[in-house]
Chains A and B, each alone.
Chain A
Amino acid sequence: MTQPAVKPRNPVAAHPVTSAAIAIGIFASIFFTLWVPIYARATPKAGDFPFFYFYLLAYMPVVGIVLWIVIQLQKRLTPPSRAAASAREEAK
């Protein structure tokens, strides 16, 4: 998705499932806060928090986790030579 065609092999075409999962992860995390009617309700309450407020606060850690998974998936699209280089860098 964020990885464009790199010759000689297009990573998106080479990993269709991973690419789709990445796209879904990113757009779902935008959609479920953009579409206000989903959560613009007072009930069910979470403790003393109306649903609207609880939902938005609980969303943040969720989006962090989803994006973390997306980033891990994106690594699979990276050509092996570069992945190895990244690993070396991290080891330092």
Chain B
Amino acid sequence: MNHVNAVTFTIVVILFLLVTCVGFAAARWRRAEDMMHLNEWGLGGRGFGTFVGWFLLGGDLYTAYTFIAVPSAVFLTGAVSGFFAVSYTIMVFPIALIFLPRLWSIARVHNYVTPADFIRGRYGSRGLSLAMAFTGILALMPYIALQLVGIQAVLTVMGVGTSSNNTFIKDLPLFAAFLVLAVFTYVSGLRAPALIAFIKDILVYVMIIVAIFYIPTRLGGFGHIFGVAETHMKTVNPKTGKPTGVFIPTTGNSQLAFATLALGSAAALFIYPHTITGALSTRRRAVVKRNMALLPLYSVVLGLIALLGYMALTDKVTAANVKKAGGNAQLAVPYLFQHMFPSWFTGIAFSAIVIGALVPAAIMAIAAANLFTRNIFKEFVKPDASPRLETKVSQWGSLVIKTGALLFAIELPRTFSINLQLLGGIWVLQVFPALVFGLFTRWFHRWALLAGWAAGMIFGTIAAYKVATPTTSHWAGSTDIEFGHTVYIGLTAVLLNIAISVVLTVILKLTKVPGGADETLPHQYTADGEVAEAPAPAGVGLGAAGAGAVGDLQPLRGAKCASGPTGRGQMRQRPRDAPATGW
């Protein structure tokens, strides 16, 4: 416990306790009759409006990756490996606007909880759905770990728990934060991160507005900051014999790397199960759409946070501190705050990062647990599981997944958390053809998609493994050289995936291999609240509309005949009675 600043520490502890209380209290927020249902625990009752949805999705999309990993990459190598994230968060909204409303509608009509539920219903394939669930869980694990690494970076700079070489004692504060996260997620489900997201987003906004106006005045203005950054990025690194980084990508190769990283990551973001969980928890189709136009406001924050990397580079004390800490660039932003701000505001900024990591970590754990419950446990172990049992399994599943992520965070080299997350991006992108194309067409054959997925996964993992720099032998980045061009591996892998899917679909159709049943109907992809009592309470509420047992993977046969354009007026009811206000 060296140099723990009492004021900073106290403020972080107080805000952390506040968040803990809110996390537990969230169980009573918009309380449903029966909480033991995945629509309640896992999707917060599927009733969030535009306002809550904005805070929830914003808190969900912008994670420790944003606050720690992006500025640290900007700090280390400049624009291509770090600032591409800004371009990526621009592209993500138009891309998501194309397919996300359709996914919302079909999930609402058929009561799908996870993206793999949709795949199961669309292609009638348990294997393909299992592949999707597996990919989702695999990709979320390092992503949750990245959140914990972010918390760890703040704790390290605060001087908490660094005094021992024993892993357990050293990481004791991390364990404590983790335990709290695990317990409130278990109790309150998605309601906890949804409510805490308000605190997170306000803290993040306060932090970044103060930082962006105040820090440059201490460092000689933006002109000086950009000047230092440019000089630094052009300096030749003696180890590699190449410039340290890229300030503005002017060469064809760096532009291609920048663009493919941004496009690939943008395509991946709304296929991640946790962002889909956030989107499916909203009340109406229009809420999803509206948020695609409102969330770019949040992205401005990301762009400004990325610039903190350059500020850390300009501030000599911060740069020296990072060097002293073994060159761990993830500490750049926390060190910058510590050096620049008075200790009370450092406490607020640190809390913003810690709470900022807790919210998405909770949603990710819920999303991964739902995948396990719906698409592995219910599908293969206990098909007749009651909604109550499903929720229990998800609750315990979320604990197991968080423990796995904790091990990831502690065991793996910390300096590469951004690449770890990008590896997850490469994997999750392989779901794109089945999920997104599936929302528009049933042309693709299920086995062709499965083969394409397998090829993309194997190619992507091997290619990422082989990426080396003079200082790192493996997993050193997420771009590699294809035919003389530097390209994001995820994009190459998904193109291979699509090519294989197309060729095999043609072959399988010619040989007339059964394509599986499709339980969805075209008009359901644009439906808006078509199922009466959409978040049906467990086991009840199967009225004349025949909403079907929730968790029943079969199509809603009763609803199908009644839900034509004419029946819509009568069938649409308010999703629930409880939340009369916007909350």
Interface residues of A (CB under 8 A from B): 1-7, 25-27, 29-30, 33-37, 40-42, 47-50, 52-53, 56-57, 59-61, 63-65, 67-68, 70-71, 74, 79, 81-82, 85-86, 89-90, 92
Distance, CA A64 to CA B294, complexed state (A): 6
Nearest Cβ distance between residue B405 and chain A, in whole angstroms?
30
Contact B98 A63 (CB under 8 A): no
Could you tell me which residues of chain B, from 493 to 508, have a CB within 8 Å of some CB in chain A?
none
Given contacts A63-B93, A81-B568, contact A57 B86 (CB under 8 A): yes
**A71 pairs with B289, CB closer than 8 A:** yes
Contact present for B303 and A57 (CB under 8 Å): yes
In the assembled complex, B514 has its CB within 8 A of some CB on chain A: no
Contacts of B94 in A (CB 8 A): 25-27, 29-30, 63, 67
**Pair A34/B528 contact, Cβ less than 8 Å:** no
Tell me if B440 is interfacial: C-beta within 8 Å of chain A. yes
Measured CA separation A30–B223 after assembly (Å): 29
Contact with A along B541-583 (1 / 0, CB 8 A): 0000000000000000000000001001100101000000000
- For the complex, give the distance between the alpha carbons of A40 and B79 in Å: 10
Question: Contact size class for B?
Answer: 35 or more
**Looking at the complex, which one of A5, A40, A59, A65 makes contact with B522 (CB distance below 8 Å)?**
A5
Q: Contacts A37-B255, A56-B303, A67-B293 hold; do A50 and B525 have CB atoms under 8 A apart?
A: no
B307 touches A53 (CB 8 A): yes
Q: Is A56 in contact with B87, judged by CB distance below 8 angstroms?
A: yes
List the one stretch of B157-165, B258-266, B331-339 in contact with chain A.
B258-266
Nearest-Cβ distance from residue B438 to partner chain A, whole angstroms: 13
Q: Which residues of A lie under 8 Å from residue B247 when comparing CB positions?
A: 50
Contact A50 B226 (CB under 8 A): yes
Question: With A33-B90, A56-B87 in contact, is A50–B248 under 8 Å at CB?
Answer: yes
CB-CB under 8 A for A40 and B248, given A26-B94, A47-B222:
yes
Known: A2-B101, A85-B569. A30 touches B91 (CB 8 A): yes
Minimum CB–CB distance for A62 against chain B, Å: 8
Q: Tell whether, in the assembled complex, residue B223 and residue A61 are in contact, meaning their CB atoms are under 8 Å apart.
A: no
Flag if B293 contacts A68 (CB, 8 Å).
Answer: yes
- B contact residues vs A (CB 8 Å cutoff): 79, 83, 86-87, 89-91, 93-95, 97-99, 101-102, 221-223, 225-226, 230, 247-250, 255-256, 258-259, 262-263, 284, 286, 289-290, 292-297, 299-300, 303-304, 307, 440, 522-523, 525-526, 528-529, 565, 568-569, 572, 574
Check A34/B263 contact, CB under 8 A, given A60-B297, A67-B94, A86-B286.
yes
In the assembled complex, how far is the CB of residue A56 from the closest CB belonging to chain B, in whole angstroms? Answer: 5
Contacting residues, chain B, for A2 (C-beta < 8 A):
97-99, 101-102
A26 to B, closest residue via Cβ: B94
A92 to B297, CA, bound (A): 26
> Contacts A34-B263, A74-B289: A85 and B93 contacting too (C-beta < 8 A)?
no
Residues of A within 8 Å of B304, CB to CB, are 57
Cα separation A54 to B300 with both chains bound (whole Å) = 11
Across the interface, which residues of B come within 8 angstroms of A4, CB to CB? Answer: 440, 522, 525-526
Among residues of A, the one whose C-beta sits closest to the C-beta of B300 is A60
A6 touches B259 (CB 8 A): no
Give Cα A5–Cα B526 distance, bound, in whole angstroms. 10
Which among A33, A48, A92 is the interface contact of B262 at CB below 8 angstroms?
A33
A21 to chain B, nearest CB (A): 14
Q: Please tell me which one of the listed residues A5, A35, A57, A63 contacts residue B259 in the complex, with CB atoms under 8 A apart.
A: A35
Q: What would be 25 A-B contacts, judged by CB atoms less than 8 Å apart?
A: A2-B98, A2-B102, A4-B526, A26-B97, A29-B90, A29-B94, A30-B95, A36-B87, A36-B249, A47-B222, A48-B226, A52-B249, A56-B83, A56-B86, A56-B303, A60-B90, A60-B299, A61-B297, A67-B93, A71-B293, A85-B528, A85-B569, A86-B286, A89-B284, A92-B574
Indicate the member of A2, A7, A27, A50 with the most B CB atoms within 10 Å: A2
Is the CB–CB distance between A57 and B296 below 8 Å?
no
Tell me whether B79 and A52 are in contact (CB under 8 A).
yes
**What is the distance, in angstroms, from B232's C-beta to the closest C-beta of chain A?**
14
- Find out whether the CB atom of A79 lies under 8 angstroms from the CB atom of B293: no
Interface pair A48/B255, CB less than 8 Å apart: no
Residues A40 and B249 in contact, CB atoms below 8 Å apart: yes
Contacts of A30 in B (CB 8 A): 91, 94-95
A42, A56, A89, A90 — most chain B CB neighbours (10 Å): A56
In the complex, what distance in Å separates the CA atom of A81 from the CA atom of B95?
Answer: 28
- Closest-by-CB residue of A relative to B285 is A86
List B contacts of A53 (CB < 8 A). 83, 226, 307
Contact call B528/A71, Cβ cutoff below 8 A: no
Contact A33 B572 (CB under 8 A): no
The 5 closest A-B pairs by CB, nearest first: A48-B222, A48-B223, A64-B296, A36-B255, A67-B293
Contact B248 A85 (CB under 8 A): no
C-alpha gap A82/B290 in the complex (Å): 17
Q: Is the CB of A61 within 8 A of B300?
A: yes
Report the separation of the CA atoms of residues A50 and B331 in the bound assembly, to the nearest whole angstrom. Answer: 26
Q: How far is the CA of A60 from the CA of B92 in the complex (A)?
A: 11
Return chain A residues, CB-CB under 8 Å to B223. 48
Q: Are A33 and B87 closer than 8 Å at their CB atoms?
A: yes
The answer to whether B263 touches A1 (Cβ under 8 A) is: no
Query: How near does chain B come to A88, taking the closest CB pair, in angstroms?
Result: 9
Contact B90 A56 (CB under 8 A): yes
Residue of A nearest to B252 (CB): A37
- A67-B292, A85-B569 are known contacts. Are A36 and B258 too (CB-CB below 8 A)? yes
A81 and B297 contact, CB distance less than 8 A: no
